[in-house]
Structures are given as structure tokens and as C-alpha cells.
Amino acid sequence: MNLIYPGTDKVSERRRFILNPESEFKKLREIPDEDIVMLLGHRLPGEKYKSVHPPLDELIIPEDPIKDLIEPSPGAREGDRFAFLQFTDSMYFSPLVPWFRGRMYHSRYRGIDTLVYAGREMLEARERDLEEYAKELIQTEIFDPARTALRGITVHGSSLRLDENGLMFDGRRRYIYDKEKNEVVYVKNQRVMPLDKPISVGPPLSEKTLIENSVIYRPESVSYRRVKEIWEVVGNVMEQNVLGGFSPEHQLKD
């Protein structure tokens, strides 16, 4: 198990659990398939998947040992086009953080491409595969309606303030907080197109739960051993990157 992630503290244990592709995440909410499709916004519910090539079973493919070794994903087998989703994670104890999402995606999902930005993480895959991945990413414990947000465009604000209800700031106002039901409700999809009907993604998790399951080292969860250690490690990486691009022959001398 330590091959997945080292360490013995509870943050390390949580990271290990998430990176393990065999882990079963606790399902916290039920989002109908039709609503998942609406939130992503790449097709209409009931609309056929668009394709970029015929199904693999209909193609005459030259002899290739790789195709005999790797089972294609359902979307690849059917020739689906590619689509994307993008999450942003608050620095205030969101269940995941962007750089960690990338590691989890690669350990858990097949046939993907992913890109890490400062405050967000893009996931690209064949459409039907993406919808299947989105179910787990939205319906389980690795999503918090207040500290995790689906934002295909205009993602800025992830690390800024929380509003009076504990929701991340969103300049495009894709979601609102329903005080009567204690639920976060999307009124626009990730691409900021208004939805025909509001889609509830359930109540925010408690602060206690978020901190208990945090993958972030902070005083409220697990502190670093020494603040100086952070600056030493990060500073060394940055300096080596600038001066040598991680080339051993150009590394700094003691």
C-alpha cells in the first residue's frame, strides 16, 4: 500500500485511500443520469453520442499487438468523440485538490487525458466514459457541493473567499444555495448555459467532516513538521528548475 503513497499520518492515509484504484468511495447523493448529462452540457439527454470514427468492431485495423493487450473503454469501442469536465477545488478543505485529482484520475480511470492548473483540473475522455466517471466524481465523498464546483469555463475564484453560506465564489453564478432545503442547486451547466430546470447536488458537508477527511496539510488537519522544511523543499525545486531544468549535469553544487 505504501507504494501508492507514503506516510503514517491521517492525511497520508486519506491520500492512500483515494489513490488506491480498488477503493470504493461512499455514495452521498443520487444524481439522475439525465442531470449528469445536463451539468456537463456536451449533449442533450437522450441524444445519441456523436462519433469521430466507426465502432472498432467495424474497422479493419492492421495487425497491432497493443490492441490485443489493451481492452478499449466503452467509449473508445464505439468511436465516441471526446468531451471534458473541469472541477475547481477550494483551498478551504475541499475533499480533493487539483494536483491530487490528476494522480487519482490516472490511477482510477482509463482512456483519459488530464491537465492540472493552479486551482482547477480538466478531465478529457470519450463521452460515455466521461459521463460514467462524472457519476463517481459528483455522487460520492470526493465531492462537496460547497467546496467543489463544476466549471468548464471562467474557473477563477477557487482559492478566494467563501460566501456567507460557505460556498466558493463563482463569478458566473452557476449555483446557488437553497437555505430552506440546505442544498446547493445548479442553475447553469459547467459551460454557463442556463439549465431548463435547477439541479440539486445536495447539502454541503460539515466543516468537521471536511477537515477529518482532508488531503491538505494545515494546522486544522495535520501540520507540517517544520515550516522551514516547506521552504527548503519548494525553494530547491524552483531553483533547480530555473537553473538546470532538472538536468543532473547542471544541478547546483553544495
Query: What pTM was estimated for this model as a whole?
Result: 0.87
Q: Is the pLDDT of residue 1 over 50?
A: no
Residues 146/165, Cβ–Cβ less than 8 Å = yes
Lowest mean pLDDT among 22-31, 128-137, 157-166, 212-221: 157-166
Percentage above 70 pLDDT, the chain = 93
Question: Which pLDDT score is estimated for 233?
Answer: 76
Backbone φ and ψ for 111, nearest 5 degrees, come out as 65, 40
Q: Of all helices (H) and strands (E), which one includes residue 166?
A: none
Residue 124 DSSP label:
E
Looking at per-residue pLDDT, the higher value among 247 and 227 belongs to 227
| Domain limits, the chain | 10-223, 224-254
CATH class, 10-223 region: alpha beta
Task: For 63-120, write each residue's pLDDT tens digit.
Answer: 888 888 989 999 999 999 999 999 999 989 999 999 999 999 999 999 999 999 878 9
Task: For 133-181, write each residue's pLDDT tens digit.
Answer: 999 999 999 999 999 999 999 988 666 689 999 999 998 999 999 999 9
Q: Is the pLDDT of residue 247 over 50?
A: yes
Cα–Cα distances in angstroms (integers) from residue 128 to residues 17, 24, 240, in the given order: 26, 21, 42
Residues in a beta bridge with 27: 140
Backbone φ and ψ for 89, nearest 5 degrees, come out as -125, 130
* CA atoms of 94 and 215, how far apart (whole Å): 8
